[in-house]
Amino acid sequence: MITIYKSLFKYRLAVIITLHAIFPTLSLLISFLLRFDFTLGQGNYPRLFFLSLPLNVVIFLIISGMFNLYQRIWRYVSVDDLKDIVKASALASLIFMFMITFSGQFIGYPRSVYVLNFAFFIVFNGGTRFTIRLFRESFIPASDTAKNVLIIGAGTAGNEIVKTIKAAKKKEYIPVGFIDRDKSLHNKRIQGLKVFGGTSLIKYVIRKYRIHEVFIAIPEATNKTVQNIINASKIPEWDLKFKIVPSMLDIMSGKLRINQIRDVSIDDLLCRPNIKLDDTKVRKQLAARTVLITGAGGSIGSEICNQVASYKPSRMILLDSSEVSAYHVDLELKKKYKDIAIHTIVGNILDNGFMDLLFRKYPPDYIYHAAAYKHVHLMEWNPLACLKNNVLGSAVLASLAERYGVKQFVMISTDKAVNPKGIMGISKRLAERVVLERNPSGTLFNVVRFGNVLGSSGSVIPMFQKQIRDGGPVTVTSPDTKRYFMSIPEAVQLVLQASTLNESKAIFMLDMGNPVKIVDLAKNLIELSGLRVGEDVEIVFTGMRHGEKIEEVLLCEQEDVVPTGFDKIRVQKRNHHDPDRVERFIHDLKSNVELGNMRLIYNDIKELIPEMTGPDFEEIQQRMFN
């Protein structure tokens, strides 16, 4: 059966034209048979039939060509195709009737044949197409390269994606049908495809129609909705991939096209809705200002650069110690924002003379300080470099901000600064104190503290993705490890929004929902790659490394938070400030780092971070001294 089908497909046009010649032949024949009780009639009627038959065939073939019926893909026949078949049949029937009536060669031609002929045109032409489609969907398997696709969402986006798939020259996908929660659409057909029902039927449809990929055609779907769809689709033995159709706003604006379907990313699996903040005040604050961004080439820093640039500052200073990172962000921004003066500087914030020269040449109004060493386990073996860069670097920048009258200084911090268990967390906690505990000045100093950022260079996601590409195993420290997660754009929105709250010496935090288990994140990422956990890629638990905690928190026990004017942002203001002690610590840290005197550094840390007690801190002490 399959061999016959492939042979017919090879000579597709010839077969289709032959069928279009057979349709009017059968139409006229059956019309006469019905008119004359299953005979061609008596007397002159058989002659009229045979004389008019070639005319009927020729007219129908010509009109079918005019309506492009030969070029239609029968396996995708739809209501639109049926409309064209009706129009072609009506026009062919009218021309046929006109020529029979006014030629003078067909005296006594039965008038009922015209109507029957028209009706059978539609029955044979449309019925054959729908029969072939039904036959193919039921008995003919997809080619080796084409993928069966189930579309979630029968709205505008779903409708458009089906049209795009059908119009594609290369048939990479075969749309099978829709799933939609709207009960009024269930069992209806859109573009000739059935709306099977709600999400409870997803697994049934996947098995029955051998679905390879699921297209989520709900562009405005929340992360929770995407997660629910993925969970409802999971079949242990099934290799299934998910893609998301871009939003219609992006499509209409020209930013994206409907066929630019993206893979489901791990950002879509945050266990809460995406956070959107009001940027009206941010726009007003940054417009026509000079903004300095440190660590501009990093994952967080580069996103800050992009979002700040969208608010049209007059000047941007992009500072990074990495030439390669600085080059990439410079190239991207200057291509997109030609009306902004962008100065990309390669340099180190620890270089006092260099930084002073930079501030004198381009005095900034706002500083977003994202430069930091942040890889936890690496910093455990490089404590002096970590403390020097994260703490002393922040101190240099804060002093220059005061000296040159910067309006606001916002530092990026981390939940690892709370009850720190490693050098990186300690350095960020000390940097927070260095920035916040200062003598009064005209500069507002604030800290933004948040959890892990999905996709950043320090995130587990890039590591998991590489391990999956390499065939595994994916390494997770513990089955109980939990972390707060947010996307990079969310993190940057928080940073920019916090700078508009007109607070000073405050720590801002985002309501990030519930923490996520790292092992669940790893499983989702493996499955989204079309692989199976335990069969294609193993998950191996390696045990906790130095400096890591089972679960992060955003607040110390002695810290209290209060809500702000923005629903998702909370603020914590420290009551205890000791700028003189912090200033002495900075002075001592400079010399102790140069001398490598870890014992004195440890004593200062113990005094400045009072919660650093117990076995964990003793372990840190041993690592620092060794």
Tallying the residues shown for the chain, one arrives at 626
Catalytic residues, by residue number, are: 416
Query: Which residues does residue 510 pair with via DSSP β-bridges, in sequence order?
Result: 569
Q: Measure CA of the first residue to CA of the last residue in the chain; give whole Å.
A: 76
Q: Are β-strands 452-454 and 444-450 bridged in parallel, bridged antiparallel, or unpaired?
A: unpaired
Distance in angstroms (rounded) separating the CA atoms of residues 308 and 293: 9
Collapsed DSSP state (helix, strand, coil) of residue 87? helix
Q: DSSP alpha helices (H): ranges in 480-578?
A: 488-498, 518-528
Task: Determine the longest span between alpha carbons in the chain, in angstroms.
Answer: 123
548 neighbors 542 (Cβ within 8 angstroms): no
364 neighbors 290 (Cβ within 8 angstroms): yes
Collapsed DSSP state (helix, strand, coil) of residue 446? strand
Residue 614's CB is within 10 A of a number of other CB atoms, namely: 8
Distance in angstroms (rounded) separating the CA atoms of residues 146 and 210: 12
- Which parts of 49-162 are beta strand (E)? 147-152
- Residue 429 — φ and ψ, nearest 5°? -65, -45
What's the DSSP call for residue 269? G
What is the enclosing helix (H) or strand (E) of 487?
strand 485-487
393-403 and 352-361 helices, crossing angle to 10°: 30
Task: Output b/e per residue, 564-596; b: 16+ Cβ within 10 A.
Answer: bebebbbbbebeeeeeeebbebbeebeebbeee
Residue with structure tokens 């059966």? 1
Query: Which residues does residue 573 pair with via DSSP β-bridges, in sequence order?
Result: 506
